[in-house]
Chain A
Amino acid sequence: SAVISQKPSRDICQRGTSLTIQCQVDSQVTMMFWYRQQPGQSLTLIATANQGSEATYESGFVIDKFPISRPNLTFSTLTVSNMSPEDSSIYLCSVLKRSGQVVEAFFGQGTRLTVV
């Protein structure tokens, strides 16, 4: 299993500012995933964070808006830059862990962001 500590759990931010979200995993993982869940929507993958290389962004998400750091195998940060009210969402980090043939997903508690 994996335990993921994500912080902050929630924040209210002014438009134009930036917020950095942190995720700490209790074991080493190759890839960490960052998701966004907008109000009333499903989870959308923002990017995959790989240790030692640049993150891979999904269509519609760019590094300038969502810079990601992955300094080691247990930690990652996602920054939401130059925020606008449209960025109000829940942001989640996730890892996939394999045990033999079993692959399971684990999630952080989420960060509920409100931009005013």
Chain B
Amino acid sequence: KQEVTQIPAALSVPEGENLVLNCSFTDSAIYNLQWFRQDPGKGLTSLLLIQSSQREQTSGRLNASLDKSSGRSTLYIAASQPGDSATYLCALSPGGYQKVTFGTGTKLQVIP
């Protein structure tokens, strides 16, 4: 059974800092990994999708990496802004007809 862990559970940083969020998983047989953002009381917004054959994806100030051999993915946020404050979740798909498994999330607060 796939286990997905996100550390830290919560993170508070001053505006402008670069930061890294971590996602660890136990089963490297994944098809893709997706990072989501969730604002309080809202649904999930997709940020980046990394296919298993890829090592990283970039979108604006966000960069996500994937290392299947070590069972890790990181989400790098450059020059953080207060608007980045949200919960960030990673989700792994094993492909085929198998369900997507989510981590527990990291709650980020960027202080102005």
* A and B: bona fide binding partners: no
